[in-house]
Structure 1
Amino acid sequence: MSNAINAVDGTLVLAEPTFISSLFKNYISFGEQFYQQKNQQEIEYAIKSFVDILGNTGDHHNGVYLKFTSWNTLFLQQLSKMWPNTPIVFAFRDPLDVLDSVLGKRIGWMRFYNDPVIVSALLKEKENTGDISFIDFSIKILAQLYKCGLQLSPNNLLINYGNNGAENFEKMLAHFNLVQTPQDKINIENSTLYYSKNKYRGVFFADINNGRKAILNQQILKLVEDSGIIETYKTLANRAR
């Protein structure tokens, strides 16, 4: 999706900047102090400055787009207040597919489960955060991420990865008022053939093993069921149609 936007002439996509994740991690390491007004103001100033500096590096007449990494979405309400008139796209997919990927790859930020202070700040739980399991942490974080999507106003766009990819691109570009030229369409078609992560640049999606990477056993499925995340996902999916 970020490839598709970036393929339109005059756009700039800042995709999951390490700076922003590092900034959030630095502040949430302070636990409850993260939510103090002073810290929120400092975060807002730092992020806006970062975007302004990179956004002024060239001719981006079709806009600058900021793609947040998954866990940053937990702060979507605060982020949306920084740019209240900026349209938002919230992308999501089936939680069982996400968990399969998480278990197979051990995504870096999921390793926060080893840090009780960060776990407490992200989950806003004060108890039992010192011995939370990797999978329990992953499920709880996902449940909160999906709820962030539900809290968005109807003016924003929900995108389900499970839907037709071409239709998703069309909806997203229309949401951002991006008009494609014939050359843009060619660029989009070419760019979206590739995996977007930097370490896989130049690798076709078809070359990546998209099969199941882990077995979601009955214990994990029970945790998923108890979390209520399936119902939340279904609600998001219905709204995204």
Structure 2
Amino acid sequence: MERVPVPTRVSVQDGQAMLQMVELPPSVYEAPFLSDGLNQAQARGEAGRASSCPVKDLPAEGPLPAGLIFHVSRCGSTLVTGMLGTLPGVRGVSEPEALSLYLLHCAQGACAFDAEAFRRLIKVFGRGAGPGGRYVIKFSSWNLLFLDWIRDALPEVPWVFLTRDVTEVMASNFRNPSAPLRWYRSRGPWFEACFPDWPGEERNAPEAFFAGCLARYTRKAREHQGPLCLWADYARLPGLVLDQILPHFGLAADAPQRARLEEKSRYRSKGNTRETFVPDGERKRAEATQAILEAVKVAVPGPGW
């Protein structure tokens, strides 16, 4: 069975970031999220040799990603990654935990952010990607808080910022909370690392917090706007993948490949991926509480915190 080294976690030892890797089939990258693929492969007993290495000592050689995908959450980023991953020789890497852990450890001050080390860490995800070694990486939504660091490490890599109607994003997150909202409620160390300036008097205002969080994502993306950045609206998916994201990332698809991409877009990108996708924007807007609507009015149009 073919195996490639897959980053699983990053820990810190004596102020130094250490990467843990496990040799696994490349098919782990085909799951909606890399963590799902890792869990499934390990449950099937497909894990090979495990290894550990200081992040700064990873090999410098290897291709950079064809593109990076950032998003506000619940806005089609998993679909986009999955569609791109159907192209021959292209690997879609969805929200790798190792990258998030590295950023969190650096934010906490457990280790110093090293742009060259992060660049080397990124390249590990392209190992064994096939002819040409093309791959794209989708970051977790809150990774946008550290866009300065990421762009410093990968200044030449094109990227996409996916957005969606804010009320729909809010409603989805209050039904099934993403990491920042869970951290807000628990007030653990990750929350303090990512949101050190959130005012304490707003402790019991989750709607205000998350609306402000989304506004911060958008401001951070706007700070880095330029020719390498493509803003993409959920409402224009899936056609936007074919018409704009492919050429933006320097990727191409012939007629049969485009047909496969379009077929992929007809099904849910998460959960039961064999189930036909049904648009849910109207239902999400109907679920929005008055507190959500008020928080959106206050946080999104204004300058933020």
For residues 157 and 225 of structure 1, the distance between their equivalents in structure 2, rounded to whole angstroms, comes to 26
CA contact (8 A) 1:3 1:196 kept: yes
1:14–1:94 CA distance, 2 compared to 1 (3 A): same
Comparing both chains, which one has the higher relative contact order based on Cα–Cα distances under 8 Å and sequence gaps of 6 or more?
Answer: 1
- 250, 256, 279: which one aligns with 1:183: 256
- Per mean C-alpha deviation after superposition, the further-off stretch among 204-213 and 73-82 is 204-213
Q: Scaled by the length of structure 1, what TM-score is found?
A: 0.79
1:200–1:73 CA distance, 2 compared to 1 (3 A): farther
Runs of 4+ in 1 over 6 A off after TM superposition: 207-210
Greater fraction of residues in strand: 2
Q: What's the C-alpha RMSD, in Å, of the aligned pairs?
A: 2.8
For residues 280 and 298 of structure 2, the distance between their equivalents in structure 1, rounded to whole angstroms, comes to 32
- What are the equivalent positions in structure 2 for 1:86-235 lying under 5 Å apart? 86-113=157-184, 114-115=186-187, 117-125=189-197, 127-128=199-200, 131-155=203-227, 156-197=229-270, 199-206=271-278, 211-212=283-284, 215-227=287-299, 229-230=300-301
- Residues 55-85 of structure 1: CA deviation (Å, up to 9, x unaligned): 1213152622110111111111210111111
CA contact (8 A) 2:168 2:285 kept: no
Segments of 5+ residues of structure 2 without an aligned counterpart are 1-79
CA contact (8 A) 2:96 2:139 kept: yes
CA contact (8 A) 2:162 2:231 kept: yes
The one-letter code of the counterpart of 2:104 is K
Secondary structure, in 3 states, of the residue corresponding to 1:56?
coil
For residues 203 and 191 of structure 2, the distance between their equivalents in structure 1, rounded to whole angstroms, comes to 10
1:116–1:18 CA distance, 2 compared to 1 (3 A): closer
1:135–1:116 CA distance, 2 compared to 1 (3 A): farther
Secondary structure, in 3 states, of the residue corresponding to 2:235?
coil
Q: CA deviation at 1:90?
A: 0.6
Q: CA deviation at 1:231?
A: 6.5
Q: Percent identity?
A: 20
Residue matched to 2:153: 82
The one-letter code of the counterpart of 2:89 is G
For residues 221 and 209 of structure 1, the distance between their equivalents in structure 2, rounded to whole angstroms, comes to 15
Q: Is residue 53 of structure 1 aligned with residue 132 of structure 2?
A: no
Residue matched to 2:98: 19
Segments of 5+ residues of structure 1 without an aligned counterpart are 233-241
Q: CA deviation at 1:213?
A: 7.7
For residues 50 and 226 of structure 1, the distance between their equivalents in structure 2, rounded to whole angstroms, comes to 39
Q: CA deviation at 1:44?
A: 5.7
Q: CA deviation at 1:164?
A: 5.0
Q: CA deviation at 1:2?
A: 0.9
Q: Scaled by the length of structure 2, what TM-score is found?
A: 0.64
Q: CA deviation at 1:108?
A: 4.1
Greater fraction of residues in helix: 1
For residues 93 and 81 of structure 1, the distance between their equivalents in structure 2, rounded to whole angstroms, comes to 26
The one-letter code of the counterpart of 1:149 is A
